[in-house]
A and B are shown apart, each in its own frame.
Chain A
């Protein structure tokens, strides 16, 4: 058991932070399964991140007054139970409530795992393990979530967390760590925490919006989308060797990372086509930037600051309030743009149908089928395949209707890609703001 303690606690940290974005790829399925709207389904993400951001620092205060192992074990148990509740949720309201409870348990688990990892290892290794697990969890979460959704269902995302978390409860209880009673000597590190919040908001766009674009806009399966967005964590892994090779000062590393994230987001805003290959290079920039910034900023925010858990909690709060900020700013922008994209998309579809090399009666039949589909999918990107699947045309007209279907899908992809552009550009602006925060000259203290 002793050997498994640290890996289980590390896994718990990764799990809780992965939960921040793990459901991203499942959102389209949840949207359909729980009969809800894009605006409401975003709360599955917002609720978790908001609660985690709000309770992180108060949780750290509680940890200074009680046995960390008991609080950690309790937090992990609540996290496990609420994960199970998420899996059984039959409505969006219940799912959001379960996610709130999950975040509450997650906050205790996260803060507690830091204390326990420091007790198991030492200060330096414990903190480094905690930070790395968090960054990896955040980056890998959407990929794992997408694969589980495709292989089983969105509920599977929450089901698999239960045994992992249950195993971590005895692991937490096995570590004897005294409560950290260090006086509250240092103020929270404003600059790294602010940069963390802004970058988290920008990264939300990279993961949340890109996934929505792939699954809803380009009609790719969750598994394909998961594999596509796996470029981000893979590129993030390449950041550390690169930093070791070039050995830049921390500020330069963070500024370069912010610039890479901003560049990657601009790249996602100006994709030349709906070919998945075009998303790889911009995502690689985002991943590289993620790997250069998040752990450095978290370390800077915690370095030489006491009490340790309090400052770790500030980083958690900053990151998750950043995610909420990102969702709060970007969701209305892209839903409004998606609504605005309906008219040009419908006009493009009408143009292609009017000029299609089909017999007049086939054009009327296509128009009818498309009209029904477009009407039934108000507010969402329609699935034109359903319209064509029900179409009855002469065998000799089938090649032309197949070509028309491809062309119309192409127009929808164009409209969806254009609808996401402003949100990606806005997110790039957030990453540039983070860069400004990182490079602004420090105020000199007067002698």
Chain B
């Protein structure tokens, strides 16, 4: 072996080693090992819930509503969630975006036919109200078709969202009892308003 070729042996060996190691790493995703990037909140996202009934509906509405609000505010859903969780008082813009997001979530679910019928939720809703037991029994006795004709889920939800004090709701997230009380009051009022409006339409 000549002196010149011997001089090159170690640099060539080093080059092969480095290229090999870096090549294998890049081929296995080296360089792109980074935290999950938040999805575009304006893109349509399928949301699911592990529970059914009112809890499941609420969860899906909140998830879609967050997407809608984040899309309006031009931030990610995650950034908005963290802001709402960490900020002392949410801004007016946040509250308005959240309300608009929730309302558009109702419309999206209605369009996708994923809103449950009112009759599917009546039993669960009655369980958590403090209505007289005779009134509860009377309502339960109504045929599903009557309930569904009298109450439209999207209408009740829209009225509930319009009526909700979202600032207080966000402040009550840590207090399950206050949260439930506030939601129950808003839903009950929305049901009353919806029934009144329905009666007015019929008359």
Chain A residues close to B by CB (< 8 Å):
242-243, 246-249, 252-253, 255-257, 259-260, 262-264, 266-267, 270-274, 278, 281-282, 285, 288, 292, 341, 343-348, 350-352, 354, 357-361, 364, 367-368, 371, 411, 414-415, 417-418
A249 near B7 (CB under 8 angstroms)?
yes
Q: Are A259 and B11 CB-contacts (below 8 A) given A270-B30, A347-B82, A359-B50?
A: yes
A351, B66: Cα distance in complex, Å: 12
* Chain B hits for A292, CB < 8 A: 10
B77 contacts chain A at the CB level, 8 A cutoff = yes
Q: Is the CB of A347 within 8 A of B10?
A: no
- Residue B36 CB within 8 A of the other chain: yes
Assuming the A-B contacts A263-B17, A360-B59, are A270 and B25 also in contact, with contact meaning beta carbons closer than 8 angstroms in the complex? yes
Seed contacts A344-B35, A359-B50; 9 additional CB < 8 Å A-B pairs: A246-B9, A248-B6, A248-B11, A252-B10, A257-B14, A273-B28, A281-B21, A417-B33, A418-B34
Rounded to whole angstroms, the CA-CA distance of A158 and B113 in the bound complex is 70
Give the residues in chain A near B55, CB-CB below 8 Å: 359-360
Interface 1/0 per residue, B29-47 and A, CB below 8 Å: 1110111111100000000
B76 proximal to A (CB < 8 A): yes
Tell me how far the C-beta of B170 lies from the nearest C-beta in chain A, rounded to whole angstroms: 13
Q: How far is the CB of B82 from chain A (nearest CB, A)?
A: 6
Q: Is the CB of A259 within 8 A of B14?
A: yes
25 intermolecular pairs with C-beta atoms under 8 Å apart: A252-B7, A252-B10, A253-B10, A256-B13, A259-B14, A260-B17, A263-B21, A264-B18, A264-B21, A270-B33, A272-B33, A273-B29, A278-B25, A292-B10, A344-B35, A347-B35, A347-B79, A351-B78, A354-B63, A360-B49, A360-B58, A411-B35, A414-B33, A414-B36, A418-B33
Q: A residues within 8 A CB of B30? A: 267, 270-272, 278
A400 to chain B, nearest CB (A): 8
Instruction: Identify the closest chain A residue to B66 (Cβ).
Output: A354
Bound Cα distance from A246 to B51, whole angstroms:
69
Q: Is the pair A414, B10 in contact by a Cβ cutoff of 8 Å?
A: no
Q: Which chain B residue lies CB-closest to A350? A: B78
Tell me which residues across on chain A come within 8 A of B14, comparing CB atoms.
256-257, 259-260, 263
Q: Is the CB of B10 within 8 A of A243?
A: yes
B25 lies within 8 A of A347 (CB) = no
A410 vs chain B, min Cβ distance (A): 9
B139 close to A (CB within 8 Å): no
| Residues of A contacting B49 in the complex (Cβ-Cβ under 8 angstroms) | 360
Q: Nearest A residue to B47 by beta-carbon distance?
A: A355
Please pick, from A252, A271, A272, A347, the residue contacting B76 in the complex, using a CB distance under 8 A: A347
Write out the residue numbers on chain A whose beta carbons fall within 8 Å of the beta carbon of B137.
none
Are B10 and A272 in contact (CB-based, < 8 A)? no
Inter-chain contacts of A272 with B (CB < 8 A)? 25, 28-30, 33
- Whether B114 is near chain A, meaning CB under 8 Å from some CB there, is no
B25 to chain A, nearest CB (A): 5
Q: How far is the CA of A267 from the CA of B13 in the complex (A)?
A: 17
Partner of A358, one of B50, B77, B176: B50
Which chain A positions have C-beta within 8 A of B58?
360
- Residues on B with C-beta less than 8 A from A278 are 25, 28, 30
Our pick among A243, A249, A270, A359 for the contact of B26 (Cβ within 8 Å) is A270
B149 at the interface (CB under 8 A from A): no
- The verdict on A285 contacting B17 (CB below 8 Å), with A246-B6, A272-B25 known, is yes
Most A-side CB within 10 Å, residue of B22, B37, B85: B22
Residue of B nearest to A282 (CB): B21
Is residue B174 contacting chain A, with contact meaning CB distance below 8 A? yes
Q: Does B81 contact A (CB under 8 A)?
A: yes
Quote the shortest CB–CB distance from A45 to chain B (angstroms): 27
Give A375 Cβ to nearest chain B Cβ, in Å. Answer: 9
Contact A368 B26 (CB under 8 A): no
Q: How far is the CA of A250 from the CA of B37 in the complex (A)?
A: 48
B26 cross-chain contacts in A, Cβ below 8 A: 270
Question: Distance in Å from the Cβ of B14 to the closest Cβ of chain A?
Answer: 4
B173 within 8 A of A: yes
B138 adjacent to chain A (CB < 8 Å): no
